Amino acid sequence: MLKWLQVPRVVNLAGESDTVIGWVLSDEPPMEALPRMEQLRQRFHEADPGRFCLVVSMWPQTPHVPEKTNLPVVCVDLYPFFGPDDPNGPPTDQASQAFFRMNAHRMVEAIGEKNVVPWVMGMCFSEIWGPRKYDARWHLVGRPGSYLHWRCPSLAEMRWQVWETLRSRCKGIIIYTLAPEPPDPKTENLPPPDVTWTNVLTGSATDLGPNALTNPDCTPTPQLEELGSVYQRIASHKELIRQWKATALLAAEVTPPARRRWSILSTVKRSRSQMTLPKGTDMEPSHCVQGKGLFLNSQQMKGDSYVEMDLRTNGYPAVISSFRGRREQ
């Protein structure tokens, strides 16, 4: 734990560098450590008022962070994609997505009207306990007898984590992790892990994909390139995303396969622009039915700024356009 007298020294090391935008005070602190996190936040604010602080918290503790601290950013780490037959996580794609949505929603609801920004830390890694090795593509492969805990997301799942974070009313996303575990010939012959669920240990070599956003030779993975592509689409809409608000009003009902038009209001007046959602983006009808994921401002229902989305629920691209002016009836 960082001591009080060390805080100014750490801040001085960062200096005026614009590559340091804030301070992560702790990774997954337990509940009893949250008062300490608030004290540490105060100390950093005194020493470095121009930068913000946050902790990265596990989903059970996250709703308590805005209650026990005054951190300006609350960040939950959500790693939804588990290995096949893993008893310690959601076993299906549907359950994995529900886990992500539910806990992002719990964080936002816990923040309520506080002036706090919700972030999500998503995942890009694979984790194997026991014998494992890298193949020629730098994919991490579980050897027979290994426990496949987490698997690397597919390219579609990388996109989905970003879009779902925004749909869940969160304002930022970080992806863990950047660098993989280094290759080590000793891991290839490790014994099976000492676990009670031996029935799920793999019986054959199983490829779990890349181990991080970059490979051991520092080259980018396809997941990193896909993430960059999504970030590029979002970049010009940051102002709009920051000001999205939720509403309980019903905006649309969509039954797949179908194509519908619906409008959402924003507090931002912009010239016309477009953002294309890639194929595979998760836009199920259930996201729209009760307006839970629609970013509307009920105070602007008669305003002169709105966003119109051409929503295609059968897996094809959707186009979001923002306009200045009233909607034509």
Query: Residue 135 has what pLDDT?
Result: 97
The rounded distance, in Å, linking the Cα atoms of 235 and 215 is 26
Query: Residue 255 has what pLDDT?
Result: 58
Query: Residue 260 has what pLDDT?
Result: 34
Measuring CA to CA, how many Å separate 47 from each of 3, 52, 57, 232?
A: 13, 11, 24, 34
Please provide the DSSP assignment of 226-237 as one string: HHHHHHHHHHTT
Please provide the DSSP assignment of 147-184 as one string: EEEE-PPPHHHHHHHHHHHHHTT--EEEEE-SSPPPP-
Nearest of 123, 131, 144, 149 to residue 208 by alpha carbon = 149
Contact 228, 222 (CB under 8 A): no
Query: Residue 254 has what pLDDT?
Result: 55
The rounded distance, in Å, linking the Cα atoms of 59 and 64 is 10
The rounded distance, in Å, linking the Cα atoms of 318 and 76 is 28
Measuring CA to CA, how many Å separate 161 from each of 80, 87, 100?
A: 9, 22, 8
- What is the average pLDDT score of the chain? 80
Please give the average pLDDT of every successive group of 10 residues along the chain, which has 329 residues.
76 93 96 96 95 97 97 98 90 91 96 95 98 97 97 96 93 96 96 92 96 97 97 91 77 53 34 36 31 30 34 33 31
Query: Residue 234 has what pLDDT?
Result: 93
Q: Cα 200 to the chain's mean position, in Å?
A: 28
Query: Residue 244 has what pLDDT?
Result: 80
Query: Residue 108 has what pLDDT?
Result: 96
Q: How far apart are the first and last CA of the chain?
A: 60
User: Which of helix, strand or coil describes residue 242?
Assistant: helix
DSSP state of 49: T
Query: Residue 304 has what pLDDT?
Result: 33
Query: Residue 266 has what pLDDT?
Result: 34
Q: What are the domain boundaries of the chain? A: 6-238, 245-324
Nearest of 237, 241, 262, 245 to residue 296 by alpha carbon = 245
Q: Cα 3 to the chain's mean position, in Å?
A: 31
* Residue 53 φ/ψ, nearest 5 degrees: -125, 155
Q: Which distant-in-sequence residues (6+ apart) come within 8 Å of 115 by Cβ?
A: 72
Sign of CA dihedral 59, 177, 114, 52: positive
Q: In the numeric block, which tokens belong to residue 15?
A: 């200096």
Q: Give the CA radius of gyration of the chain.
A: 22
User: Which of helix, strand or coil describes residue 97?
Assistant: helix
Write down the pTM of the prediction.
0.76
Nearest of 188, 186, 195 to residue 132 by alpha carbon = 188
